[in-house]
Every structure is written in structure tokens, then in C-alpha cells.
Structure 1
Amino acid sequence: MRAVGIIAEYNPFHNGHAFHIQEARKKSQAEVVIICMSGNFVQRGEPALVSKWQRANSALEHGADLVVEMPLTSALQAGDIFAQSGVAILSAMRCADLSFGVENGKAEDYLRAGRLLQKFDQKIAEEFSKEKMTNTSYAQQLSDLIEPVLRKENIALDHRQANSLLGMLYARENSKLTSPMGLVPVLRKKAQHAEISIDKAEQMASGTAIRQALLSQDRELQQAVKHVVPEEVYFSLHQSPYVDWEKAWPYLKYQLISQDTDQLRQIYQMTEGLENRLKKHIVNSSDFQDFMQTIKTKRYTWTRLQRLLCYTLLQLKEADVEQTITTVPRQIRLLGFTSRGREYLNHLNKNKIDMKIISNLKQSGQESFKMDIKAGNIYRLLADEKIPSQDFLKSPIIKK
């Protein structure tokens, strides 16, 4: 069976995601679509609006055949590690192709860019370590470094666009594989990544715009969401508690006030005295947005700080995280599947893949997923415990 893989967050699932799944299947001629999806905390450094189970269910309702969870410590990372983990998981699941949404470019462009970035991998890493590179964001640093390489080779990709840049990182990781997957870029339709408006006529909007609308107090804006998400997704969204940083604010504030600087220094990526800056401003900040505006600088971007605050909220220590992201996960969590997905799982079992796919977390399997379990418990707390347990006593979603 031929499978195409997609690395996603679906925060929340919308019409653009359904379009991507449809196009990925059609362009790759795959029988199975596999989604490697972030769990309850996402790459930009925030809790997902709704739970991983609800988002996985939406994907299965609209074209996906298998949904597996990207481990927390890989999902909550900058683009390079996020891409590394997603590509490794989908490759281990024997996907023939990898599909991703982009602002511009063709498969050949990304194949060439991936090979070039692999070739200059060491040089790029060295440039990142230089002092002169530390005053701009990760994305800007990477964009600046690869721009002359792309220009020299006449590769027509817009490295300044978030999804095209991420597509190049996927292509780089793919080029490192012994058996690289085929690349299937899908052009984003209408709404772009950072757009914050909802155009009802277009029936497309970015995840950012949808989240802002749902979290607003504007009834008309909230209702506009039904034009840009599938009907059943709209219904389920309005039946669910939303989780965002404002919900997490009291818990974050408690962590930063109650811990001393030595304790905070143990948090993953708590570097260059950031613990002092956080403790200095936390007490007098009225809410999360106020706090972020106070601590943000040119050097420490919004997303970088949000990820750091997620690590703090979840109490992720440097040693714990580094240990989990050095290798491809040996076990991966299955969130759901269709009948076609079940057939593909049987196919993988017969071929004895290197990675074990876990359908139920039992007491004996806690160690491999301990940080994901902790994150699930905290996420449920942020949802005022109005959602079920996120890990134990939870079986994969099954669709016909």
C-alpha cells in the first residue's frame, strides 16, 4: 500500500487542511494518508485550542487514514527539530511521499533546496553559533543564511515565507534518509499563514484568524468561523472548552514566583540569565499578553519566549528534553485510524518496522511517554477538567 505523510498541528482543523489532505492523496496517488500531529502543545509555544483527540478526530473525518502523535519534546521546538522528528516518524512508517503546504515552489525546487541545505548543514550550524547571529530570530537567521545559497543555484523559493521555509527544512531532513520520500508540496489556497481576517466568500482562513475569532467576545466574528471549517468541526468546536495562554496564566505565574532562579535555570533553554528577566517582570504583569509585551525584545522573539514559557509551565528540564530528541522515537502513540488505516497498520506489522506503534498506554509503558502524560494532565487542568483523561484509559479513535 502506498502512503503519503503529512506533518501537522490542525490548531484547529479547517477547510485548508481538508483541501491539503485531498490534494496530497491525489498528487501522490497514495492509498493511505498518515498524519504526524502535534499533541496538546504546539510548535509556536502554546496550548492547542482543543485537545489532540478532537483534532485527530477531525482529520480522520476529512480524509486522513492514520493519525499518530509527535512527541511533546519534538513538537515544542524550533523548525529544524520539529522537521527532523516529523520526517523521521513518517519515514519509519514507510511513507512513500511527504506532503506539505507552501506559499510557492514545485517539488523539484524543494528537492534541490533540501540537498543544498544538507550539503551546507555544517556551515549553517557554525554560523548559528557566532555571536553576530544572536540578535535576530531563528527563522530570520536561517532565512539570511540560506538566501545566498538559493540565489546562487537559481532556486525560486521564497525563504521569507513561513511554510516555504519549513518545507525546505522538511526537504533537508528527507535528503538525509537512506531512502528519501518523494516530495509533494501543495500550494496554500487563498488564506496565508499569518492572515488574521476571515473572508466568508473565500471559505478559507488561517488557523491564527480562526483561533482569534473563537477566543474573541465578538459573536458575529465567532459565527464567521462556520464558513471556513467543515460543518461538524464547527459544531464540535462550539461544544468544547478552549485552552489558551490566558487559561494557563495563573499556573505559569505560580511557577515563576514560587521557584528561585537556581531552579528556573534547570528549565530547558533557560539561558543567558532569562530566569532573572522572567522573575523581574512576572509579579507586576496583569495577564499573559501584558507579560509577553514586557519581556519581549528583538533578541528574544515572541515564539521563542512562548516555547520557553511552555517548558516552564510543564517543568521540562534540560537533561530530560535533550535525552528524548537525540534519536528517532522507538515508540509512537497512535491517536486514530480508519479501516484503510487499520489495513496499513497490519501491513507495517507484517513488515516489522523498527518503531513500535502504541495503541494503549498501560502502567508499564509510562516511562517512554512520561512527559507527554504530564503535559496531558496539565492540559486537562487548563480545560477545567471538562475533557476526558488524555492518555490512560484512552483508546485510538476508530472510523469506518
Structure 2
Amino acid sequence: MKAVGVVVEYNPFHNGHFYHVEQSKILSGADVVIAVMSGPFLQRGEPALLSKWHRAKMALLGGVDIVFELPYAFATQKAETFARGAIDILAAAGCDYVCFGSESGHIEDFYSTLHFIHTHQETYDHLIKKNMDVGMSYPRATSSAFQELRPSSQIMDLSKPNNILGFQYIRAIEELNLSLTPLTVARKNAGYHDPELSTTHIASATSIRKSIFSNDGQLNELSSYVPNTTYTELVDYKRQFGQFLQWEDYWPLLQYRLLTTDKSELARIYEVEEGIENRILQMVDKANSFSEFMTLLKTKRYTWTRLQRLCVHILTNTNKEQMRALSDRASYLRLLGMTALGRQYLNKWKKQSNLPIVSRLASYNGKEIELDIKAAKIYSLGLDKTKRHSALSLEYKQAPMFISKKEE
């Protein structure tokens, strides 16, 4: 059986994701689709709208056959590290292909761009450093450096978010010397960060989340933009837990952490660099909400995304030593769910795996998973106190979900 891998967050699973899964199978000719999906906190430094278990169920009902969790040490990182961890897991899961969405839509563009950067690597690195020395953020510095090299028209636009991730996936495949074959699908209709729902049936996850929060958790507007199974799962989750999670739910916790942390301790937190701890402690007293805190904190040098990730690490008290020790290579596969076809694949493949498959926490003693457990505990604190125990119990008691062929 051949497998195609996808790197996802599904926050939440929508029609664009359904199209991506379908196209991944068509382009690869694979029998099964394996997703590596971020856990409670995401690459842009945000808490997930709803739990990883509910998002995994959406994926399985939407055409994915196996869902593995992308560990916190990779999921809450810059694009390069995020991509490296995800690709490492898909390779360890036996994938023959990886398929990602991109603004380019042509896999040749990624190889041309990678070759172009390799050819100009020394100059490229020098230009990035020069740009950062004058106060640019890292993403802006790399984009500007790339343009200064005067790429030809055959080289793709590395200022686009999905192109950036796709480039890093292919770079990771080469650097790790993996036998994965990359494929890409052009994004349809909505842009990655489009804030408004589109006039077509495909909208960005950003616009879907905005609709949910601007309508006080009401879901009426979303039925055209998500599969029926996703819509049902969103309704059930809201009924069970009463809310969808966002940063404002964690603001009192983050504020408490900052007000009770001294400067030297804060400087040890991952991504706290270049004296930003001074500005953080200066601004925390002035803010009445997370959005207000971020607005006060924002500078040209630090992107909103990087600052949000930094705040996640402060919230979870994750230091530099912990992250550096865990963010090189994947060391386990946390199985969240599978279909009947996915189980068939796993039964044949698991004996060949070079990494342990974690189905239940009680059966795995590896220290490296402790950071994921801590992240899940803190994530549950965003819920109403009457709902926290039931949410957190999933982390310890929930067996990998099984969706039968009939249910699909």
C-alpha cells in the first residue's frame, strides 16, 4: 500500500482542506492519506479553536486515513523547524509522497528556487544578516534578501505563506536525505490569510475563525464553507464545551505568568531574544487584553506571529534548552486516529517503523512526550473550569479514534 502525507492544522477542517486531500490522492495515486497535525498550539502561535481529538475526527471524516500529532517542539516553530519535524514524521510513517498546497502550484518552481538559493547561499545569508541588522523581522529580511538577488521569472514568490512552507518541506527532504516525493496543489479561491468569507464555497480558515468569534460562537454562516461532518462536529463541540478557544481565554494566565516572572527567568524562555524581555515586562501592566498587549508589544523587528509564539512559550514555561533538545529529529509517532483502511496500513507497516507508535500515554515512558502533555494541560485551562477535567481526560484516556468505512 502506498501512502501520501499531508502537513496540516485543520483549524478547522474546511472545503479547501477536503479538496487538498482529494487532489493528494489523485496526484500521488496513493492508497492512504496520512496527516501530521499540530496539537493544541499552532505554528502562528495561537491556541487551536478546538481540541486535537475533535480536529482529528474532522480529518478522518473528511478523507484522511491516519492522523499523527505534530509535537509541540515542532508545531510552535518558525517555518524551517516546523517543516523539518513534519517531514521527518511523514517519512517515519512510511509515506511515499508528501503533497502540500501552494500559491505556485508547480513543483518545478520549488526545485528551481532551492537551486537558486544554494547557488547564491553566501550572498543570501549576508543580505539576511544585513537586513536584520537594520531592524527587519526575519521573514521580511529573507524576502528582501531574495529579491535583492534578482531572481528570474522562473523563480517563485517566497513572500507567500504556502510557498514558504512548501520550499521548507522540499529543503527538509533534501537535507534529511529522504525518499519522499513532493507534490503540490495550487490553492483555490481564498488566500491563506483572507479575513473575510469568500463568495465561493472555499474560504480561508482565518475567515472562518473570524466569523465564529465575531458572531459570538454562532455557526450559521459556515455551512457553505465546511463539509457537513465538520459542521456537525463544530456544533457538537460547542454544545459540549460551550466555547471555541482563542488567545483572550488565556490572557489572565499569561498576564499572571509575566507579573510573577523576573527578567532573568524570562530571558531563558524560548524565542525571548535581544532584550525583548524588557519590553514585555514594560507593556504587561498597560494592557487589558491579549490583543491590546500584542499591539503594544509589536515592533518592526518582531512579527505578530513570532510574538504570539513567544507568548505561547511563556504561557507553557518552555525554555531554550528544552526546545533545542527536542526540535532536531522526531522521536515518536503519537497516533490520534485512523479509518479502517488506515488501520490496515498500520498493521502492515508498524513492524518496519524506526520510531515507536504511541497509542496511549500509559504505554509510553519516553521523557520527550512530557512537553506535549504539559501543553495539553495548559490548553485545557482556557475552558470553563467545569469543562476542564473532561477535556484533559482525553489526553490520558482517549484511545486513537477509529472511523469505520461505513461511518466515512
TM-score in terms of structure 1 length: 0.93
For the Cα contact (< 8 Å) 1:75–1:82, is it kept in 2?
A: yes
Question: 2: CA distance between counterparts of 1:121 and 1:82?
Answer: 21
Question: 2: CA distance between counterparts of 1:132 and 1:397?
Answer: 46
Higher mean Cα deviation, 311-320 or 336-345? 336-345
Q: Deviations over 1:47-71 (max 9, x none)?
A: 0011111111100001101110111
Q: Deviations over 1:368-393 (max 9, x none)?
A: 21110000011111122162424212
Cα separation, partners in 2 of 1:302 and 1:179, compared to 1, 3 Å: closer
Question: 1: CA distance between counterparts of 2:234 and 2:286?
Answer: 34
For the Cα contact (< 8 Å) 1:115–1:175, is it kept in 2?
A: no
Q: Which residue of structure 1 aligns with residue 240 of structure 2?
A: none
Q: Which residue of structure 1 aligns with residue 332 of structure 2?
A: 331
Q: Which residue of structure 1 aligns with residue 214 of structure 2?
A: 216
Question: 2: CA distance between counterparts of 1:94 and 1:5?
Answer: 9
Matched residue of 1:159: which SS?
coil
Confirm or deny that 1:111 pairs with 2:111: yes
How many Å apart are 1:366 and its aligned residue?
5.3
Confirm or deny that 1:393 pairs with 2:393: no
1:46-195 mapped onto 2 (5 Å cutoff)? 46-117=46-117, 124-125=124-125, 127-130=127-130, 132-133=132-133, 135-147=135-147, 151-152=151-152, 154-195=153-194
Question: 1: CA distance between counterparts of 2:144 and 2:131?
Answer: 15
Higher mean Cα deviation, 130-139 or 383-392? 130-139
How many Å apart are 1:15 and its aligned residue?
0.6
Cα separation, partners in 2 of 1:88 and 1:114, compared to 1, 3 Å: farther
Q: CA RMSD of the aligned region, Å?
A: 2.0
Q: Deviations over 1:298-335 (max 9, x none)?
A: 11111110000000000001111110012x12212111
Q: Which residue of structure 2 aligns with residue 380 of structure 1?
A: 380
Q: Which residue of structure 2 aligns with residue 3 of structure 1?
A: 3
For the Cα contact (< 8 Å) 2:2–2:32, is it kept in 1?
A: yes
Q: Which runs of 5+ in 1 are unaligned?
A: none
How many Å apart are 1:145 and its aligned residue?
3.0
Higher mean Cα deviation, 156-165 or 252-261? 156-165
Partner AA of 1:324 in structure 2: L
For the Cα contact (< 8 Å) 2:266–2:277, is it kept in 1?
A: yes
How many Å apart are 1:146 and its aligned residue?
3.2
Question: 1: CA distance between counterparts of 2:149 and 2:173?
Answer: 18
Cα separation, partners in 2 of 1:195 and 1:109, compared to 1, 3 Å: same
Question: 2: CA distance between counterparts of 1:244 and 1:85?
Answer: 25
Question: 2: CA distance between counterparts of 1:129 and 1:149?
Answer: 14
1:278-357 mapped onto 2 (5 Å cutoff)? 278-326=280-328, 328-350=329-351, 352-357=352-357
Higher mean Cα deviation, 210-219 or 38-47? 210-219
Query: Between the two proteins, what is the percent identity of the paired residues?
Result: 35
Question: 1: CA distance between counterparts of 2:220 and 2:111?
Answer: 41
Matched residue of 1:196: which SS?
coil
Higher mean Cα deviation, 4-13 or 125-134? 125-134
1:206-285 mapped onto 2 (5 Å cutoff)? 206-217=204-215, 222-240=219-237, 241-285=243-287
Equivalences, count: 395
For the Cα contact (< 8 Å) 2:257–2:314, is it kept in 1?
A: yes
Question: 2: CA distance between counterparts of 1:131 and 1:151?
Answer: 18
Partner AA of 2:156 in structure 1: L
For the Cα contact (< 8 Å) 2:2–2:95, is it kept in 1?
A: yes
Higher mean Cα deviation, 103-112 or 258-267? 103-112
How many Å apart are 1:217 and its aligned residue?
3.2
Cα separation, partners in 2 of 1:335 and 1:125, compared to 1, 3 Å: farther
Cα separation, partners in 2 of 1:172 and 1:147, compared to 1, 3 Å: farther
Q: Deviations over 1:16-36 (max 9, x none)?
A: 001100000011101010101
For the Cα contact (< 8 Å) 2:326–2:368, is it kept in 1?
A: no
Cα separation, partners in 2 of 1:41 and 1:229, compared to 1, 3 Å: same
How many Å apart are 1:150 and its aligned residue?
7.6
Cα separation, partners in 2 of 1:343 and 1:125, compared to 1, 3 Å: farther
For the Cα contact (< 8 Å) 2:84–2:172, is it kept in 1?
A: yes
Partner AA of 1:16 in structure 2: G
Partner AA of 1:382 in structure 2: G
Cα separation, partners in 2 of 1:334 and 1:116, compared to 1, 3 Å: farther
For the Cα contact (< 8 Å) 2:16–2:203, is it kept in 1?
A: yes
For the Cα contact (< 8 Å) 1:380–1:390, is it kept in 2?
A: no
For the Cα contact (< 8 Å) 2:131–2:141, is it kept in 1?
A: no
For the Cα contact (< 8 Å) 1:83–1:166, is it kept in 2?
A: yes
Matched residue of 2:372: which SS?
helix
Matched residue of 1:151: which SS?
coil
TM-score in terms of structure 2 length: 0.91
Q: Deviations over 1:138-184 (max 9, x none)?
A: 222222233456824x5242222111121111111122243432221
For the Cα contact (< 8 Å) 1:330–1:354, is it kept in 2?
A: no
Cα separation, partners in 2 of 1:16 and 1:270, compared to 1, 3 Å: same
Question: 1: CA distance between counterparts of 2:211 and 2:195?
Answer: 9
Higher mean Cα deviation, 178-187 or 337-346? 178-187
Q: Deviations over 1:213-269 (max 9, x none)?
A: 1111368x8421111011121122133231110000000000000111111111111
Matched residue of 1:365: which SS?
coil
